[in-house]
Structure formats: C-alpha cells, structure tokens
Structure 1
Amino acid sequence: MPKISMPTGGDVVEVILADHRWFEEALRELRDVTSDRSAVLADLAAVLIAHAEAEESKVYPSLKKKDAIDAEEVEHSEHEHDEGNEALLALMEVDDTASEEFSEKVHELSESLSHHLDEEERDVLNPARTDVSADVRKKLGDEFAAERNRLIDSGCGDITNVRKLVEASKG
C-alpha cells in the first residue's frame, strides 16, 4: 500500500495530481484480495475526505475568484465529492472485506472516483494551469497541503465523520 504522503506544498495542480495517482493505487489495493483491505480503506478514507474538503475550502473558491472556473463547475465538483463520500461510506459500512458486497462497493467507489478525477483534471486543473499564475498556484498548493494534512491529522476519515458529511450533503 502506498504510504500517505504529507506534502508541504508546491504547485496546486501537481499536489492534487499526486493525490489522484495515490487514489488510483489505493483502489487497486482494495481490489486485491491479498491486501490488508481494512488498512487500505482507512488510509483511503482519510486522504479522500481531507483532499475533497481542502479543495472545497482552499482551491475552488480561489480558482473561481480568478475566473479559471465558474460557479457551475464548483457546484458540479462539490456534488461529485458528495457522491464519492456516499460511495465511500457504503464501502466502510461493509463488515466483511472478503465478501462479494465489499467488492461491489469497491467497484461503485472506483467508478465514482474515476469519473470525478477525469472531469476535475480536464475541467478544473487545466484552467488552473493556463489561467492562474505560477505564484498563485504555489500559494494555493501550500494552503491546500496544509489544510489537507491538518484534516488527516484530525481523523477526518473516521466513519462517524464520513456519516456526518454524507448526512450534511443531503441537507
């Protein structure tokens, strides 16, 4: 299992992309019946929740203010985070990591997450690359990394917190 990295900053596009590649590796591990699926899921939950929350609080508002993305793009990305959180919670609620149900829920999370990563890389990160200065991307990367790491350290991937986020999204 890839170790959870705790980046200190850098270009926000690169920091976010590093997490995206980490998510893909974690999903591969979850599909592997010989891996420690419980440990992988705990790590994935922590990074996934921290990543999404840090994007929503630090990255999206700044990119919107810089006109790199619009309100509709922000709303769409946040909606996809909510869907991913629901799929994550459904997976976390499966007791038997060796069960067919666990494999089905891994598939559902993988589908949701892969769709979101693809859209975010095309529709959010590309405009960030072209419409935002390197200095601003560095500042955003530093802020994103600090918030992401703070959330991981706070235990944001705990099932109680994931449930709270899912309930809040249903408003």
Structure 2
Amino acid sequence: MIDLGRPTHGDVVDLIIDDHRRFEEILRALRMGDVDRDEARRAFAAVHVAHSVAEEELVYPVLRRKADDVGQHEVEHGEEEHAEGNQALLRVLELKGTDTPTFVEAVEKLSNLVAHHLAEEELSILGPARTEVAERTRRELGAKWAARRTELLDQDCGDVDNVRRLVDQAKRDGHLDDE
C-alpha cells in the first residue's frame, strides 16, 4: 500500500509541501516501476486530486486576500497548472497497460508538468504565504485543508470518471484548450 497521508492539522504551507514531496515519491516509483504501477497511478490520482481541489477551494482564496505577493495572476496560473496536471493524469489513468512505451511517455509528461508546478507554486505562492500570512491563519487553514483533503480521499476523488469530469470542467472554465 502506498501511503496517501492523512494529516489532521499543521501549518498549511508545511502540509502542502509535504504533499509535494509525496507526489515526487509516488511519481518516482511510477517511473521506476519498483511498485505496482496500477496501484501507484491510482494513489497518485487520489492524492493529486484531493490536494488540488482542497487547495483551490480553501487555500488560494485566503492566500490571495492575506498575502500581498499572491495575486489573481498567481492563483489563476496555479489553477491552470492543476488543470494541465489533471489532463495529463487522465491520459495515464485511461491507458490499459502500464508496461508500454505509451504509458512511459504519458508518465513522463505528467512528471514534467507536476515538477514544474511544484517549483513554481513553492516560489510564487507558498514562499510569500509563509512570510506574509500569520502563523495562526496558516494553522487554521491547515486544519481545514487537511479535513477537506481527507474527505475527498474518502470519496475516491481520483477515480478516472471524476478526473474526466474535472478536466471537462477545466475546459469549460477556460483553463485548458480543447485539444
């Protein structure tokens, strides 16, 4: 079993960064094939979706109001990158086999998109949040984010049908092109 993590409290910045490291670990295992790849892609889907939905619903709006350096552009860009990640994730989830060149290419694209997003979010959103948002606010937000993330995990949010719905909604919202 891959540990999805189920934090209950903490500084929201630390919790999000912990999840970022979890993403990297699961993606590394998925690329290397040293775990059951089907289990790894399902685990990644669950954590990625729960993390990003809770972040967009709860964290981004508060940080936009409380951190001078986190503006509408950073929030919209983060949402677009979540949508791109979900689109790449959907491609990985829809593939039948996990030992094909097509699967390897899809995982590579997903890994690259996620790595880019993590670096950018940590620099442009989480860094300013740590210095510009009061610790009490970050802790309160951490408890809310953790609870919502767990709720989404319990709802099987990484299911391929839900990921497909998220991608379709992102297209309707203008966060993705209709490729």
Structure 2 length-normalised TM: 0.93
User: Any unmatched runs of 5+ in structure 2?
Assistant: 173-179
Q: Tell me the percent identity.
A: 48
Distance 1:92 1:67 in 2: 36
Distance 1:128 1:34 in 2: 36
Distance 1:34 1:141 in 2: 32
Letter in 2 for 1:47: V
Quote the residue 1:48 is aligned against: 48
- CA RMSD of superposed structures (Å): 0.9
Does residue 90 of structure 1 match 2:91? Answer: yes
Give the ranges of 4+ consecutive aligned residues of structure 1 lying more than 3 Å apart after TM superposition: none
Quote the residue 2:23 is aligned against: 23
Distance 2:130 2:4 in 1: 25
CA contact (8 A) 2:11 2:135 kept: yes
Quote the residue 1:39 is aligned against: 39
Aligned residues: 171
Quote the residue 1:66 is aligned against: 66
User: Any unmatched runs of 5+ in structure 1?
Assistant: none
Quote the residue 2:122 is aligned against: 121
Distance 2:125 2:67 in 1: 11
Distance 1:67 1:32 in 2: 39
Does residue 170 of structure 1 match 2:171? Answer: yes
Letter in 2 for 1:144: W
**1:8-54 C-alpha deviation (Å, 9 max, x unpaired):** 01000110011000000000110123420000111100000000000
CA contact (8 A) 2:67 2:129 kept: no
Distance 1:108 1:26 in 2: 15
Letter in 2 for 1:50: A
Distance 1:34 1:66, change over 3 A: closer
Letter in 2 for 1:18: D
Distance 1:2 1:160 in 2: 21
CA contact (8 A) 2:67 2:128 kept: no
CA contact (8 A) 1:2 1:22 kept: no
Structure 1 length-normalised TM: 0.98
